[in-house]
Amino acid sequence: MKLMISIALLFLLPSCASQTSVVYIESSPEPLDGVIQTKIKDTVSLVCTLNGTHEDKELVWLRNGAMIKLNDGNKENRSCVCINPVIQKDDGATFTCQLKSNSSHSASVTLDVTYSADLSGSEEVTLEEEESLDLQCDMRANPLATSVTWKLNGTLVDLSTGGFIITNDGINTKLYAKKVDRSLHEGSYECTVTSPGYGPQSKTFQVTVTDKTIKFPLMPTIAGVVVVALTTLLAIVSRWRVIAKCCK
Ligand SMILES: *[C@@H]1O[C@H](CO)[C@@H](O)[C@H](O)[C@H]1NC(C)=O
Ligand SMILES: *[C@@H]1O[C@H](CO)[C@@H](O)[C@H](O)[C@H]1NC(C)=O
Ligand SMILES: *[C@@H]1O[C@H](CO)[C@@H](O)[C@H](O)[C@H]1NC(C)=O
Ligand SMILES: *[C@@H]1O[C@H](CO)[C@@H](O)[C@H](O)[C@H]1NC(C)=O
């Protein structure tokens, strides 16, 4: 079985190579196994070249399967695209160059973009007593974050008091408490995400807890008034219909 696969590969490989050599991509920085290592805000330039003479010389570029608009004069025989600046959304994006008339003649490269968590600044949060505390920070980073911490007034949040729950789903880190109590929950919170190659990134939340207010149920009252008004209107309209019919 193994032998059969090896033989199949022997026959497959040269045909793949001859297909991909019709168009090829050169890039700066250079790719390794089809992957270009880069980081946020950097520039990546890609040049696609048509190898040899072909009837159709027009090239097209795709980013994750979506066509990239090219200027005239940047389509025949050779076409270049420049990713400047590289953004977080380019991480994992695949750039494909292909012959316009035959998409089976194509070449691709994929970007691997390193970035740190994008955290900064301070946010004011005001809660009433007994409301729930729900803070979250974006923890996405490449390479993945190695540490995620939450602090309250400068010391690590104590999970044994205050009913705090911390959850990390790889996208967000969340700090939650079901019912806030001013003495336990008011203060300055800080989330910090550290990823290799980047320093720690933090965001703060100034949480103020105010007295509980009794809320007047405004919405149900409005709904009730609307229903009464509509019913009256419908009654009048249907009466008018009857009257109109009589008039004919
Ligand atoms: C261009 O085509 C020639 C002939 O088919 C081949 O030998 C060569 O390796 C190709 N070059 C590239 C960069 O694919
Ligand atoms: C593309 O290459 C062909 C053949 O090599 C050549 O005749 C043609 O002039 C080239 N076109 C451009 C725009 O360079
Ligand atoms: C596209 O190129 C492939 C490989 O050379 C070939 O087998 C196929 O017939 C071509 N398709 C068209 C529509 O020309
Ligand atoms: C945090 O510090 C503020 C200001 O010093 C203080 O009012 C608050 O009670 C502290 N919060 C906790 C939970 O210790």
Nearest CA to ligand 3 atom 3: 104
Cα of 8 from ligand 3 centre, angstroms: 21
The binding-site residues of ligand 3, defined as CB within 6 angstroms of any ligand atom, are 19, 102, 104-105
Cα of 144 from ligand 3 centre, angstroms: 42
- Which contacts of 82-85 are long-range, i.e. CB under 8 A and separated by 24 or more positions? 82/43, 82/44, 82/45, 82/46, 83/43, 83/44, 83/45, 83/46, 83/111, 84/43, 84/44, 85/40, 85/41, 85/42, 85/43
Q: Ligand 2 pocket test: which of 49, 77, 79 has the largest number of ligand atoms within 8 Å of its C-beta?
A: 77
Cα 76 from Cα 140, distance rounded (Å): 40
Contact between 62 and 98 under an 8 Å Cβ cutoff? The reply is yes
pLDDT in tens, 36-76: 999 999 999 999 999 877 788 899 999 999 999 999 999 99
pLDDT of residue 230: 59
Cα 135 from Cα 168, distance rounded (Å): 12
pLDDT of residue 82: 95
Using the Cα atoms of residue 131, residue 137, residue 139 and residue 140 in order, give the sign of their dihedral: positive
Nearest CA to ligand 1 atom 14: 21
Q: Is the bond leading into 220 cis (omega within 30 degrees of zero)?
A: no
Cα of 86 from ligand 3 centre, angstroms: 34
pLDDT of residue 16: 37
Report residue 96 CA to chain centroid gap. 22
Residue 86 CB burial class (10 angstroms; 0-12, 13-18, ≥19): buried
Which residue carries 């989330």 as its tokens?
A: 191
First to last CA, the chain: 91
Contact between 129 and 211 under an 8 Å Cβ cutoff? The reply is yes
Cα 200 from Cα 223, distance rounded (Å): 50
Ligand 1 within 6 A of CB of 24: yes
* Residue 178: DSSP 8-state: S
Residue among 88, 129, 134, 130 nearest 111 (CA): 88
Domains and CATH numbers, the chain: 22-114 (2.60.40.10), 122-210 (2.60.40.10)
Cα of 94 from ligand 2 centre, angstroms: 27
Whether the predicted model's global pTM rises above the 0.75 cut:
no
Cα of 104 from ligand 3 centre, angstroms: 7
* Average pLDDT of adjacent 10-residue blocks, the chain of 248 residues: 41 40 91 95 96 86 96 94 95 95 93 94 96 96 94 95 94 96 96 91 97 75 62 58 45
